[in-house]
Amino acid sequence: MSAEKEMVNFWCNKRGYFTINNIKTSNNKDVGILALKFNGVRIEEINHIEVSCSLIGNIGETADIEDGVLSIIKDRFENKDTREALSEYVKDFQSKNVSRYLVLGSIPRSRKKAILKCFKENYVEVLEFESILREVFRDLDTQYYKNDILRTLQLIKYLFLSDAKNLSDLLIADVLSPSARKEFLDSMLDKQEIVKEFRKTNEERLASILKNSSLRNPEKLAEMIENTILNKKTRKPFITSLLGQDKIKKIVIETETKKHEIPLMNFFEEP
């Protein structure tokens, strides 16, 4: 099986499905995965799952959505050879409908809603491979996996990515584009666990973050401190402490001195 199919098969098994993944047509074409859900000896679900993953998208940005969707459905679900191969396995369960699922990778965001809608209208539910991969990766424990694909993921999870520097170098330098990097950081900062960690961040690190952010603008910084950080109890101590800082104190004294300076000409009366 392909790596993608191995992971989808594992995901199905973890969710309580018995899977048959070696189904071939008469011309030796791979049918996909047949996932069966049992309740005791009684079968509850029959699912035909096809896996079609691509790093650059299955339905291109310029392709006609309906044509692309119908072409995939015809090739994966509705051709004669596939139907005949599946019928041999489900002939004893004819009272049950066979649900159709397609696992897709890299769905264009700009057309995602329309693509999913078109598949659904043609009785195919779409599962996103990245979501399945995320669940598989999250659920991997430290037991030894004989499956090479799962073992590789396990090594990446517990050996490589457990090192914070490896993780940051991989994501920031090697994987994420500038726009994806911003989205990643925004997503991380939305998580409460990450925000809590900032409480432990030392003053130098926080100063560096602020210095290199858009808050270098004095007006924005003042607005943030006033509206977001300070409250009734902390405003007065903050101002007192701020005015007590040597550099700030010097600026205040210079400003006050200029205000009280009287122009020399004011000492002379006009004739």
pLDDT tens-place string over residues 173-221: 666 677 777 777 777 667 776 666 666 666 666 676 666 666 667 777 7
Domain-ending residue, one of 105, 126, 154: 154
Reply yes or no on whether the pLDDT at 34 is more than 90. Answer: yes
pLDDT at 112: 87
Give the residue from 101, 126, 154 where a domain finishes: 154
Domain count, the chain: 2
CA 262 distance to own-chain centroid: 64
Q: Same domain, yes or no, for 64 and 98?
A: yes
Helix, strand or coil, per DSSP, at residue 67: helix
CA 166 to mean position of chain CA atoms: 19
Give the 3-state secondary structure of residue 230.
coil
Residues 145 and 212 in one domain: no
Binned at pLDDT 50, 70 and 90, residue 128 comes out as: very high
pLDDT of res. 6: 92
Which range is least confidently modeled, 12-21, 196-205, 222-231?
196-205
Residues 185, 89, single domain; the answer is no
Instruction: Answer yes or no: do 88 and 142 share one domain.
Output: yes
Q: Is the dihedral of CA 167, 188, 102, 20 positive or negative?
A: positive
Looking at the domain assignment, is residue 266 inside a domain?
no
Higher pLDDT, 54 or 262: 54
Based on the domain organization, do 243 and 140 belong to the same domain?
no
Tell me whether residue 264 is in a domain.
no
Q: Rounded to 10 degrees, what is the CA torsion of 4, 155, 182, 179?
A: -40
- Specify if 269 maps to a domain: no
pLDDT greater than 80 at residue 49: yes
Q: What CA–CA distance (Å, rounded) separates 102 from 46?
A: 14
Q: Do 148 and 173 fall into the same domain?
A: no
Q: What is the mean pLDDT of residues 17-28?
A: 88
Indicate whether 271 belongs to any domain: no
pLDDT of residue 63: 64
The answer on 43 and 142 residing in a single domain is yes
User: Confidence band (pLDDT; 50, 70, 90) for 234?
Assistant: confident
Compute CA 52 distance to the chain's CA centroid, rounded to the nearest angstrom. Answer: 20
Both 141 and 199 in one domain: the answer is no
Q: How many CB atoms lie within 10 A of CB 213?
A: 11
Give the pLDDT mean for 233-240: 83
CATH number at residue 7: 3.40.1350.10
11 and 104 inside one domain = yes
Of the pLDDT bands very low, low, confident and very high (cuts 50, 70, 90), residue 241 is confident
Residue 85 placed within a domain: yes
Stretch among 107-116, 150-159, 170-179 having the lowest mean pLDDT: 170-179
Rounded Cα–Cα distance for residues 46 and 112 (Å): 26
Residues 17, 103, single domain; the answer is yes
51 close to 33: Cβ distance less than 8 angstroms? yes
DSSP string for residues in 91-136: GGGTTS-EEEEEEES---GGGHHHHHHHHHHTT-EEEEHHHHHHHH
Same domain, 103 and 217: no
Range in 16-30, 78-92, 180-194 with the lowest mean pLDDT: 180-194
Inside any domain, residue 187: yes
The strands making up 98-104's β-sheet, listed across from edge to edge, are 18-20, 33-39, 42-52, 98-104, 125-128
From 94, 119, 154, give the residue that closes a domain. 154
How many Cα atoms within 13 Å fall on the side-chain side of residue 116?
Answer: 13
Retrieve residue 82's tokens: 């596939």
Q: Is the pTM of this model over 0.85?
A: no
Q: Is residue 143 part of a domain?
A: yes
Lowest model confidence (mean pLDDT) among 34-43, 72-81, 99-108, 250-259: 250-259
Q: How many CB atoms lie within 10 A of CB 82?
A: 21
Q: What is the pLDDT of residue 127?
A: 94
Co-location of 37 and 149 in the same domain: yes
* Residue 189 confidence (pLDDT): 67
* 48, part of any domain: yes
- Mean residue pLDDT of the chain comes to 80
Least confident interval from 32-36, 167-171, 236-240: 167-171
Domain limits for position 218 = 163-258
